[in-house]
A = this chain, B = another copy of it.
């Protein structure tokens, strides 16, 4: 009776939500979500900044704002990126309601039904939801320990005409892998050669625990092919819903039209709090602090995996971010093992939803940021029991 749009026909929206509901039970040790640690949030500082915002110009803040975002925050972000060597001005910055909104707005600006989007495989599953809601078709490019494979990418670009390419080059979700500098340069070269817009999704890039910082794709971008999505969710707090997009002005103008027709603008209170946090010099020491905490958690999880997982299981050793990606021997099915794990009060995310082609059955993602140190050792021990039993079956 209800005549819904075609774009939702292949969307369930439920696969991972249902899994995550499982993990919201009390007493369960969940490595399932992708959340930052709530312990890490600078609650008192943000409370003070909220109070300051109300006191300094409450009425103005409570009024409608511009779609592009709070001008001082846009300026601060532009300056921050300029200091990293990016060639951007305030006119290249759009404040968005979390970086995920940037994926939606970019899709809205570029994708007609059937248009092709290049994705690295595996990739962030919510991004698939977004592109699918614009009826995109996919071109999946495999990745290895150095990120998306450029030989495979070139084959795909030579034989197709995608409008967009989606990548999380730094501490990728779900693998934790970082694309090498050589591949980053090659990716930009290919984007230029084949005229493809690159969405660089970078929610984790500031969370580096070891290894050397690499330039972002946007910093290497020579022909304005990259739209960069940054986020304050993982480095300040996700509940405020503030991120930013960086793009050339023509593209940004289209994103603005899309945003104006969606939520008009991002919460002014959230924007002002983030602005004050950043401009008062609180961001950098805070990022240093959470990096130290997350590094200890990553190291604890990797050490526990070494200790408790059977030898036939392999995993990535990410230099930052929130995730470790784990591969079981062929034939084991992580969704099956999740059920056994949940019986032992521990959870992870199975790998298949991060692929579009049925791969990943024997893979899974582990999040280390949102568990206590003691829970990490205990949770991995329990998962190790499940894996050991499965391997020996």
Contact = CB atoms under 8 A, between A and B. Distances in A.
B126 A261 contact: yes
Contact of A240 (B35, B38, B62, B115): B62
Interface in A104-144: 104, 108-113, 115, 126, 129-130, 133-134
A202 B66 CA distance: 22
A374 interface: no
Interface of A: 1-8, 11, 13, 33, 35-36, 38-39, 41, 43-44, 46-47, 50-51, 54-55, 58-65, 97-98, 100-101, 104, 108-113, 115, 126, 129-130, 133-134, 163, 195, 197, 233, 237-241, 250-251, 253-254, 256-258, 260-270, 273
Contact of A54 (B47, B257, B263, B266): B47
A100 B263 contact: yes
B50 A269 contact: yes
Given A4-B109, A64-B238, A109-B5, A258 B133 contact: yes
B4 A129 contact: no
18 contacts: A5-B112, A5-B115, A8-B108, A35-B64, A36-B63, A41-B59, A44-B54, A64-B233, A98-B263, A100-B262, A108-B133, A129-B257, A133-B258, A239-B269, A240-B267, A240-B268, A262-B262, A269-B273
B35 A63 contact: yes
A104 B261 contact: yes
A41 B58 CA distance: 9
Contact of A43 (B58, B104, B110, B113): B58
A13 B257 contact: yes
B62 A237 contact: yes
